[in-house]
Amino acid sequence: MIRVALDVMGGDAAPETPLDGARAALEEWPEDIALVLVGPEDAVAPHLVDLPAERVSWLPAAERIDATEAPAHAVRRKPDSSIVRGLEAVRDGEVEAFVSAGSTGAIMVASMLTLGVLPGVDRPPAAAVFPTATGRVLVLDVGANIQVRPHQLHQFARLGSIYLRDVLRGRDPRVGLLNVGEEEEKGGDISIAAYGLLAEDDELEFVGNIEGHQIIAGACDVLVCGGFVGNVLLKFYESISGFILTVLRDSGMPEGRDLDEVLRFLDYTEYGGAPLLGVNGVTFICHGSSPARAIKNAIRSAADAVACHAVNDMRTGLQSITLEEVEG
Amino acid sequence: MIRVALDVMGGDAAPETPLDGARAALEEWPEDIALVLVGPEDAVAPHLVDLPAERVSWLPAAERIDATEAPAHAVRRKPDSSIVRGLEAVRDGEVEAFVSAGSTGAIMVASMLTLGVLPGVDRPPAAAVFPTATGRVLVLDVGANIQVRPHQLHQFARLGSIYLRDVLRGRDPRVGLLNVGEEEEKGGDISIAAYGLLAEDDELEFVGNIEGHQIIAGACDVLVCGGFVGNVLLKFYESISGFILTVLRDSGMPEGRDLDEVLRFLDYTEYGGAPLLGVNGVTFICHGSSPARAIKNAIRSAADAVACHAVNDMRTGLQSITLEEVEG
């Protein structure tokens, strides 16, 4: 049984949506998932009655960190928040993973403070799965690090490759660097330096720069980028497939084979959340607007990451990275 | 008659595709468009016979700048290139606009050197029209400036607002700042400082930060961002709508109302090219992979920008911008 701590207070529709996600996960995977619901008594206790007692418990946390609060400040000021309590439970071995639709920044800061980062990692990236024409690509960072340096992009490539192999069962992942042109000298100083580090690393299958239109074509399996562009791209992608579906429905497309079915592969809630890679424990971040299905699938993805020993493999896989520029 | 210089040597399929685009433009708009074809004799001369002599002429240019060449170096070393010759024709008043599917960097550098920038502009942004749920949004920069500073984003907002009003006939354009969160303090130093400049400018209708998923919803009419993220987003958008169309066709969607027709509004070739705003003349940049339809429509867009006196309006509209940080 893999124990996952779920932040009941995370997300725009908390606690209802996280609780709905919890219920769905417990129902769908009765064999191997147990949940620890993290939140205040009034939010959690009324629901414990309906849930299977042997697989669900409650971890009290009286405070909630809002998306509008400055992350570092909020984490320090609210030690009894659901985010901090949930991550402490991972650190102390009471659970194996933490899932939250709360503030990305606060989860990031609290994960670094509570779990710590693996040797060779400056700051953990968040990684998201994008569906493509040929399967999927793991994009990182999608928002945990706004400004990145070349050696961090190199770390992202290592972390992403290991995660893809371990958890998503991808063989020999091809790594691409998101850029504005194919040529090695494109994209400014950071991109050029990152290109050099990636090209020199024998443990990576580096396929070079990837432009915006090559992502969906499936030109690589792991795409590294800064958190700003990654975050914009992720949210844009999720919105556009929904938008095109609406346009098609509104246009009175004939209902032959169902549109939803054909375009299901574009549904981001399939993977549910973005793992924070490079911390010493399994943490999944969901959008604040995640529906219950996304929460449910993030719980599944987190349990899979635990079952694959992804954190240990990342620890090993990072050992050979040059650390010349590593910062606190 | 508006005279547009077309770079016959620009793009992956030059000279054929630019020439096809020229032919289509001459046919579709016999009233107001004349073309000057810029390129070497062997590429242009054989085609002059078939084209209406009173509306087509040839401007010799023996050299071609490739996308792989370092822009500044290439522009200096190839004074007889189609890009330099075409822009000189704009500068000298022989034509009113220049259209090219050649190297973005080279067009940018040559435009700055040949035409010069308007007072109050550091470096010109390239602007692209994205179709949205409610119409369209003008996104800038889409690749001319990889690293931007806050006051440049402010300049982009002014330039984009004027272009939208003049050429795209948009009223009271709402300006958004592309970011990773809605709150004013999101996105790092550059975003925060740009937010402040945009919010303080009474001549702009600033609606705040816009996240990736709000673009397609039509949350603003002018979206300012750095050239890196803008370029990735543009290419990604163009690829994803084509991809979804392919998926739907392959899935055997019933052919009721035609898919192409329903999704035509997503076709980027409708606008054809990206104007380079803030230079002292009309310049349009097309993708290297542009089909003839995109070239044709870029010629139309360039002629429209001339007819609207967009450059003069931008010159006027920039006068009140604070110039404290303007660099060469």
Inspect the interface and report whether the beta carbons of A212 and B178 lie closer than 8 Å: no
Task: Name the amino acid, one letter, at B218.
Answer: G
Percent of chain A beyond pLDDT 70?
95
pLDDT in tens, A128-139: 999 888 889 999
**Cβ–Cβ < 8 Å for A283, A129:** no
A220: left (phi over 0), alpha (psi -120 to 50) or beta: beta
Residue A13 CA to residue A288 CA, distance in Å, equals 8
Mean pLDDT along residues B185-210: 96
Tokens of A67: 């998306």
Cα torsion angle, B57, B62, B68, B74, sign: negative
Cβ-Cβ contacts under 8 Å between A and B: the total is: 147
Round to whole Å and give the CA distance between A60 and A41: 7
- The helix/strand/coil state of B181 is coil
Q: What's the token pair of residue B40?
A: 């070497």
Quick one: which of A233, A188, A142, A218 has its CA closest to B236? A233
What band does A328 get if pLDDT is binned at 50, 70 and 90? Answer: very low
The residues facing A2 across adjacent strands are: A33
Pairwise CB contact (< 8 Å): B262 & A239: no
pLDDT score for A253: 66
Cα–Cα nearest to A130, from A210, A225, A205, A223: A223
The predicted structure's pLDDT at residue A324: 45
d(CA B111, CA B116): 7
Structure tokens at B127: 């602007």
B325-to-A250, B120, B150, B152 alpha-carbon distances in Å: 49, 10, 10, 9
What's the CA gap between A183 and B68, in Å, rounded? 7
ipTM above 0.85, yes or no: yes
Report helix, strand or coil for A279. Answer: strand
Question: In whole numbers, what is the pLDDT of chain A averaged over residues?
Answer: 92
User: In the prediction, which pLDDT does A265 show?
Assistant: 73
Find where tokens 């400056």 sit: A122
Give the pLDDT score at B171.
87
Task: Scan for tokens 């980028």, then name that residue.
Answer: A225
pTM: 0.92
Of A213, A239, A244, the CB nearest to B236: A213
Residues of A in contact with B233 (CB under 8 A): 212, 232-233, 236
The whole-angstrom separation of Cα A230 and Cα A145 is 10
Q: Give, as one character, the DSSP assignment of residue B114.
A: H
Is the Cβ–Cβ distance between B117 and B123 less than 8 Å? yes
Cα of A3 to nearest chain B Cα, Å: 31
Confidence of residue A248 (pLDDT cuts 50, 70, 90): confident
Q: Which residues of B touch A133 (CB under 8 A)?
A: 243, 246-247
Interface of B with A in 176-195 (CB under 8 A): 178, 180-181, 183, 185, 187-188
Extract the tokens encoding A237.
């992608």
Closest Cα in chain B, distance from residue A39 (Å)? 25
- Helix, strand, coil fractions of chain A, as percent rounded to 5: 45, 20, 40
Contact between chains at A237 and B236 (C-beta distance less than 8 A):
yes
